[in-house]
Chain A
């Protein structure tokens, strides 16, 4: 089922209003379009929505589709912020354009790459997909920043992600190199960890940049 961009946006708004805000329907005026817009015929024919007396209702099939669309939008928001480092209004705008590309399995890839995030950058829940449930079932935590480890946890350093060259070199000099075993012994007030037989302490900002595979 391939929807037009406009149809996807309407479904998204509807889903958020109905599923998250608890509304029963959405007024047509609120969607800022008239009822003779062809998009409604498209959605109606696919049995996703129902328009009655100037009110738009979400059908059960529409709920399933809307959920997927919201998921794609929030995933692309995460992608914009976490990976491309685009923020603010621009991030939202780009995410809006990007979400339409995330179908046919691309969303699964992005979701896995982002390590199955649970919330969007604004703190709203990202509806979990099949891949998230699968990851949860198999207990695969993927790659986590050191800050997410619990004291006593051990893992292998996967990579270091920093824009600061000096920081990178300092960490590497301390033996924080991909492939080395790392054991976190304390997370507050500073992160204390062991690599080999040496013990180190670093602050949160540095710990955030070390990624560990458990």
Chain B
């Protein structure tokens, strides 16, 4: 979720003060061990950090001055092993394979030293210049674990640094180790004779120059790594045929259990390393975090807990405080009562032409409409939502929610993993569409993108619609039931129709922690900044287009054209305006509806139909652009078309149904 970052490359800093060239330092490690925190600490830049595995889906780069030398720091997505399985892991390995970093900093979690050391072995074996950072030492110590780092350093033959990066512990030592790093010093680990012979038979055939050691390459070839096979094919040229034949022969000979054998051998090596290095107390006490974690994952307590979280977090905090109190103050008091009349006066005094006055302070003025919507209505809602989301994210609640809903999500073709994009969608669907990248299969990504585009209203829209419908409880209920129904039916159908493999669900559960306020605020702030940078231009552009539409009376024409459509939905022609707004942003459209309702033009039935149609209606322009970027034009266009038809179709059906039954 690194949405924006500074990207100073080495080219910008060709030389530093001491005359040496720029050093490339890559941070690698399992998901959720604190690579991004370390990145931020080293570079002073900010990439999103969270207590959720797989938050960094992109590579971030930043620069740092370490020991008087300019370094480029590269933050990579989490990887479990040198052999990649998911897209993110592939991205991370790409860096090691093609960028030949001067230093590889392997960050791991002290509590899971045994499990994660296997990757350190692989990195050393690959001949990479490795520094090991044993992170989260503070929590490990709290649990009573003790780790003999000097001994581990001796056994591995590479620098080993104990750290608690979130608390700035170990940073000076790491910087020291980075500047004093001496390549060519590391231990060598041997496998069983049989495996070594197999490896050697392959390495002897390799002649080219590679960034990874031949031993590592041979092992990856034996593990049927197609990417590495492609690279070797290119480098070896004519010699590849022989390599391929030998590898195929070995793979066949060990077809039963090569992956397992290799893992077991590595496990054996790690066991040897762990001996005398790692001591754990016999019984660890159950902390409050663990107890809370248990409540969160048991359906009996987890569902009430979820409802509590939703009630207080979403309904009371975002809905009540953000969309209620704060909007009333900002929009009602600040803008309507004070700022707008004042700015109207100022603009009218400066600009004599009525048409230009309209552009800034008219009915669709950039300031009186665009800025008012963006700052007065959208900002407080989105800010409170992101704050709520960040707190949940850092507490480690989401992975637990994911396992709770996995069974249900399977029915709509997704796994529990999709809970993050779905919940984030209630904040901003555009951002959520970007995050669908963390889902494993293309199939899941497309289904999630479709559902986000269709049935998940974003926070701004949700806030406005809640405010709109709160005076009509029946309408709110109808709207909610319809939306849920459409979400489930479309998800269910998509899961049946979409080809592709059934998804599997697995997830590491990070410990539940008390979120650190500083981190929560920085994260909220960075998301807000991204959001505002994204929406403000669109709001202003929309205002300008609407103004243009008004003065050329093109806008009137559009309303004219849409009148029959509106009429078929049983809506007055003024609603067309809200739909035209909605084309720019869905929340913008909802805000337009809000204006109409305050004027008393719509009755309960009309409001319900309009709210439902608008909620389902095409996502905002920004979301469409991201859909195109992430899923390609074909998928994005099909989803866009489908959603538009379904939106108006559902609106029409709901209207007919309500007219027939007369319940509203």
Contacts and interface: CB of A to CB of B under 8 A. Distances in A.
A68 B215 CA distance: 55
B297 interface: yes
Contact of B83 (A167, A169, A188, A192): A169
A174 B508 contact: yes
Given A186-B297, A189-B404, A190-B416, A168 B509 contact: no
22 contacts: A160-B260, A166-B85, A174-B508, A175-B114, A177-B260, A177-B264, A180-B267, A188-B299, A189-B299, A190-B403, A190-B416, A190-B505, A192-B297, A198-B112, A198-B115, A201-B297, A201-B403, A201-B509, A202-B507, A203-B505, A205-B502, A206-B506
Interface string A178-214: 1110000110111010011111111101100000000
A200 B507 contact: yes
Nearest to A175: B115
Given A197-B112, A200-B509, 13 more contacts: A160-B260, A167-B504, A168-B259, A168-B260, A170-B85, A173-B81, A192-B403, A195-B115, A197-B111, A199-B509, A200-B508, A201-B402, A202-B506
A169 B259 contact: yes
A165 interface: yes
Nearest to A189: B407
B304 to A, nearest CB: 15
Interface residues of B, number: 39
A199 B299 CA distance: 18
B263 interface: yes
Contacts of A165: 224, 259
B506 A203 contact: yes
B91 interface: no
Interface residues of A, number: 33
B403 A189 contact: yes
Nearest to B399: A201
B505 A173 contact: no
Contact of A189 (B81, B406, B504): B406
B415 interface: yes
Contacts of A172: 259-260, 263
A198 B109 CA distance: 10
B80 interface: yes
Interface string B270-302: 000000000000000000000001100111000
A190 B145 CA distance: 29
Interface string B76-109: 0000110101000000000000000000000000
Contacts of B85: 166, 169-170, 173
Contacts of A198: 111-112, 115, 508-509
A41 B151 CA distance: 81
A37 B504 CA distance: 57
A181 to B, nearest CB: 11
A100 B403 CA distance: 47
Contacts, number: 105
B260 A206 contact: no
Interface of A: 160, 165-175, 177-180, 185-186, 188-190, 192, 195-203, 205-206
Contacts of A180: 267
A206 B505 CA distance: 8
Given A174-B506, A178-B264, A196 B399 contact: no
B143 interface: yes
Task: Tell which of A171, A173, A186 has the most Cβ of chain B within 10 Å.
Answer: A173
B223 to A, nearest CB: 8
B410 interface: yes
Contacts of A168: 259-260
A203 B509 contact: no
A124 to B, nearest CB: 30
A77 B324 CA distance: 67
Contacts of A169: 81, 83, 85, 259
Contacts of B294: 185
B612 to A, nearest CB: 31
Given A188-B299, A189-B299, A201 B416 contact: yes
Nearest to B410: A203
Nearest to B502: A205
Contacts of B415: 203
A200 B112 contact: no
Contacts of B297: 186, 190, 192, 201
